[in-house]
């Protein structure tokens, strides 16, 4: 429990312990929203970004496995939405925030080549 949550009234502090389950439910909902066979379903995932950012700013603990699962999913979503710059920017910002907050706690390998290909296809087209 974070120090800020220890100062909360007991009823509210008990509710903050449920944040782990709530974050896991958000991760499941985000994954259910995106369908790989429908390229426009990436726009449906944008509504979850505000919810994920609330969890990033929160001082409560979330499961590292759920954070890792969301990062892997977000990277797949980022790479599959090549021609949708708005989606890439929004998901890229969330992924950076997640990596800044939880990156040292995770065992995650991110390949550089897909990012390089995305950069060249997006910004260096003829």
Give the pLDDT confidence of 1-15 residue by residue, as tens digits. 566 667 778 887 777
Of 50, 67, 62, nearest to 20 by C-alpha is 62
Longest dimension (CA), the chain: 61
The pLDDT score that the predictor gives to residue 58 is 81
Sorted by sequence, the CB contacts under 8 Å of residue 39 that are 6+ apart come out as: 80, 81
Regions of the chain where pLDDT drops below 50 = none
Please classify residue 92 by burial: count the beta carbons closer than 10 Å to its beta carbon, then call 0-12 exposed, 13-18 middle and 19+ buried: middle
* Contact yes or no for 94/52 (Cβ under 8 A): yes
The pLDDT score that the predictor gives to residue 14 is 75
């Amino acid at each position: 429990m974070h120090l800020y949550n220890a100062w909360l009234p007991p009823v509210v502090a008990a509710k903050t312990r449920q944040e782990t389950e709530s974050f896991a439910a958000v991760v499941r909902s985000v994954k259910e929203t995106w369908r790989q066979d429908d390229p426009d379903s990436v726009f449906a995932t944008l509504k979850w970004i505000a919810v994920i950012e609330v969890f990033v700013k929160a001082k409560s603990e979330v499961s590292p496995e759920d954070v890792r699962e969301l990062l892997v999913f977000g990277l797949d979503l980022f790479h599959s939405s090549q021609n949708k710059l708005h989606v890439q920017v929004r998901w890229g910002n969330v992924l950076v925030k997640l990596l800044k907050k939880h990156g040292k706690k995770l065992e995650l390998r991110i390949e550089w080549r897909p990012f390089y290909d995305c950069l060249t296809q997006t910004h260096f087209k003829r």
